[in-house]
Chain A
Amino acid sequence: MGERHQSVIAELGLRALAHRDMGAFVEEGLGMLGRAVQADACDLMQLTESKDALRSLCRIGWKHPESEVTEELVQHCAAARALRGAPALYKRSVGGDGWPRYLEEEGIESGVRLAISVRDHEAFGLLGLYTRSQHEFSKRELDFLRTGAVVITSAIQRHIIDEARQRERDLAAMRRSEEQLRRAERLASLGTFATGIAHELNNPLNNISLASDYAEQTQNVERRNKLLTSIKNNAQRAGQIVQSVLRFARDEVADHAAVDLASVLRRSVDFVRAEFKPERLTVKLELEETLPKTSGNATELEQVFVSLLRNAAEAHPGHCHARILAKFAESSLRVSVSDDGPGIPSADLPQVFDPFFSTRRKQGGTGLGLSITHRIVTAHGGTIRVASAPGQGTIVSIELPLAAQGYIKA
């Protein structure tokens, strides 16, 4: 290699180390190599992902420099051979197999193509240098170009590795920020939840605090006895809140099996009939003759219907007429629980399943009943919808999958 060529290689090496922009470096390097061998045009063709064609990555000295060129690779063509090793020399006068058309169209007379490979000799593409007049590439020139190609190759290789590392870093950073976001969301919902529990517990605790304080001070026996009852009731209320929270926090169901919905509904109705006097609640149960089984946990499903009926009765200022209708339709079990109560304002409807949302807080509602109901139904692979309007009553529609369709854990 001549001195002039050596200094070009040295300069190329320096630029390869210093470059910031890979595209700009390849273009620069290509230009330097081209000028050193007095080429009229040069290009860098990259193998496509499918490895059956080359696509121009960088072009210098072409009549149509912007146009992207794609060249199909034929197994035994010169380009394919060049990709496998030795530089492929081109002479228009001699012709050759499979030299691309675009060289003809550009008026190229002579040319040489050298393989560029990266990562353990994996072919990356071809470096091409061309002249519009006849030119015999000397061995020196070919040695020089081969060395230049190695420099460009190693720069590309480093760039590919850097890019991959950067991608990994980006990906890791993205995962980290996603994780942080999830954590923040968890904390936020935990915060809301904790706030709700704190608020709920504060009232009975305050009643206990005031009652015990007053009982200590008073000489009035009647009041003192009344306060003892009040303390007991408030402690029970606090205990119920804790139980509700525990039920809500438990997100898996102990056991599940095929469940006969009809008996679940009958038991639920018996349960609330025992709880409410007949002048407060009447329940009409309408069951389709043969209801197929669903799968899940019978106790939990009972809790769902007891909770819905209890809601209906408690929300009703007078005598609540509730109706349960269960049928099999469109390959699922459909149960609707309707009442003739005061209904739910449309503004409240979107929140009815939110934990701690309650319109009967003062009557001792914890605001967890419907959210637990929602959780149980969803855990059974079902859906629950509420339709209501003030003065129109409320209809809760539940759809449960058949036993064969399996059971989805929450």
Chain B
Amino acid sequence: MSSHRMRVLVVEDEVDALELIQWWTEDQGWDVRTARSGQAALELGKSFKPEVLITDYLLQDDVNGVDVIEQLRNDDAKVRCVLVTGLLRNTLVDEVRRIGNVPILTKPFDFRRLSELISAS
């Protein structure tokens, strides 16, 4: 009987960061999918049904990280989310507060911090 592999969706438009987070999450034995834009994340989210979402706030298209979290939570309220941002502004804090509790990870970060926030999410 194969143990359950946690489904993780990583959304990041910085290629280097995306690849590294993918490597690290795969190293944890998780089932990982990646998206580089908000729109792609929304589409992938529907079919992949992730249990954990790690998303950057600023993405290439009009769909930002908060939108992705909101949409995925709509489909599945239990999805655990971590929001990554390069710049933590008050307006972003307000936006996050609006959609409920989401741990915010500010760049630059390391994997220990990411791991902590996934556990806390």
Give residues in A with beta carbon < 8 Å to B. Answer: 195, 198-199, 202-203, 205-211, 213-214, 217-218, 223, 227, 230, 234, 362
Contact = CB atoms under 8 A, between A and B. Distances in A.
Contacts, number: 59
A199 B13 CA distance: 14
B18 to A, nearest CB: 10
Contacts of A210: 16-17, 20-21, 24, 108-111
Interface string B1-39: 000000000000110110011011001000000000000
Contacts of A362: 13-14, 60
B111 A217 contact: yes
A208 B110 CA distance: 10
10 contacts: A202-B107, A203-B107, A206-B17, A207-B20, A210-B20, A210-B21, A211-B16, A214-B20, A214-B23, A230-B16
A205 B87 CA distance: 13
B110 A207 contact: no
A214 B14 contact: no
A100 to B, nearest CB: 72
Contacts of A213: 110-112
B16 A207 contact: yes
A206 B24 contact: no
Interface of B: 13-14, 16-17, 20-21, 23-24, 27, 60, 86-87, 107-112
Given A202-B108, A206-B17, 4 more contacts: A199-B87, A205-B108, A210-B17, A210-B21
Contact of B87 (A202, A209, A223): A202
Nearest to A223: B23
Contact of B111 (A199, A202, A208, A214): A214
B24 A214 contact: yes
A203 B17 contact: yes
B20 A211 contact: yes
Given A213-B110, A213-B111, A214-B24, A207 B17 contact: yes
Contacts of B13: 362
A234 B16 contact: yes
A224 to B, nearest CB: 11
Nearest to B60: A362
- Identify the interface centre among B13, B86, B107, B111: most chain A CB within 10 Å of its CB: B107
A209 B108 contact: yes
Contacts of A209: 107-110
Contacts of A199: 86-87
A275 to B, nearest CB: 22
A214 B24 CA distance: 7
Nearest to A211: B20
A234 B15 CA distance: 12
B48 to A, nearest CB: 23
A207 B110 CA distance: 10
A211 B15 CA distance: 12
A195 B91 CA distance: 14
